Structure 1
Amino acid sequence: RYPIDVIKIDRQFATHITDDAKAQAIVKSILYMAGEFNLTVVAEGIEKLRQLDTFRTLNCPSIQGYLFSRPVPADVMVSFLLREILYPIEACSLSSDTVPRFSVSGKVRMLTHHAQSFELPFSDIEAHQTSTRALYFSSKTLLPLSDATFEIRLSEGVQLVSCTVTITGQQDHQYIGEYTNPIEAEQIMRFFQSLRYRP
């Protein structure tokens, strides 16, 4: 009897949806009831690809969240729409199977090792992929995998971004550098996205 035409599924369900059968059952029930009443459903708080995949499996028609972008000014949103494709932040990669393989050049230098500070020169790297947590890069210089922090600088044209990482391991011959600052992580992701969007 109320003038309701959209139901939003709270972000708490998205947080646990991938591995909580009860949360999935509740979402299924909401989707079924919404269908019976001809209501649109929007799932809130989608931030990871696994969450998106689960809501797709449940046939949820719409999502909302930071998966593709944090809130942006209107002019930035217009530029996103003009590009027609917006890549998920977490999967922002320059070397995935869906795009030509290339990388962006950069520099790395060790700042600390076992809590001791260093003044070392930069070495060349090639950055290939980023997520919300880590930067994946290759280097001909052997780098320590623990108890060390590194400064990384990436550049393309006039763009220059930098971040501080701790190398936590290797994968597919690439170092995994976990970000120490979430603001820097977001700047790197925006940098990668700008490269992906370039015509």
Structure 2
Amino acid sequence: MKKINVLACSIICGLGLTSVAAMAADTAQLNASANWQVNAVKDGKHGLIVEPNGAVNLSFNPTDKKWTTGNAPFKISVMGQSGETMKLEAQLTSPVALVNSLDGKSKLNLDASAGQVPLAVSKYTDIMAANALGLAGIINGNTGAMEQSSSKFTISAVNGIDATGAAVGADAVPDGKYSGDLQVDFQATWSKSDAPSGF
């Protein structure tokens, strides 16, 4: 019989703090959100902490007519038990659309990726696969103690909407300061085959 423990947490830029916990007989699941600060949620045997580190900034180069990429750095800590296998996944909670503060209508749409692996909206992507974030071998999630490492997501401008609602390229959005929320959900899943009762 395979028993599975799941923990999840969200990091948000610009939103409040919430925490939800649910547990069934063979499944433990925890959720947390942070306002780009520190938030920690764990059960007695498993832990998942994500600490966002700083704001995300992009700028437009008028000569190249291209946006720079931005970094969303974070520190992650995980804890699992010996004999377990951990899978670490992430997703965008919703599409990232920054709004122009000058007109309140035009938008700049962003993508986020873990290395070369793009994050999907509302669909978890394995960010340990192919060592996308450089975490493999640094955190294994099965030592019985908190393991910690740092990494980052890459944020890119992809396209936009002008003040009339028309779709435009990212280089053609109106001038102004664009701002909004970037929310990434993390989920760590530990599995162990033939787990004894009470796992």
Using the size of structure 1 for normalisation, the TM-score is: 0.22
Which is helix-richer, 1 or 2? Answer: 1
Larger radius of gyration: 1
Higher relative contact order at CA 8 Å, sep ≥6: structure 1 or structure 2? 2
Which is strand-richer, 1 or 2? Answer: 2
Using the size of structure 2 for normalisation, the TM-score is: 0.22
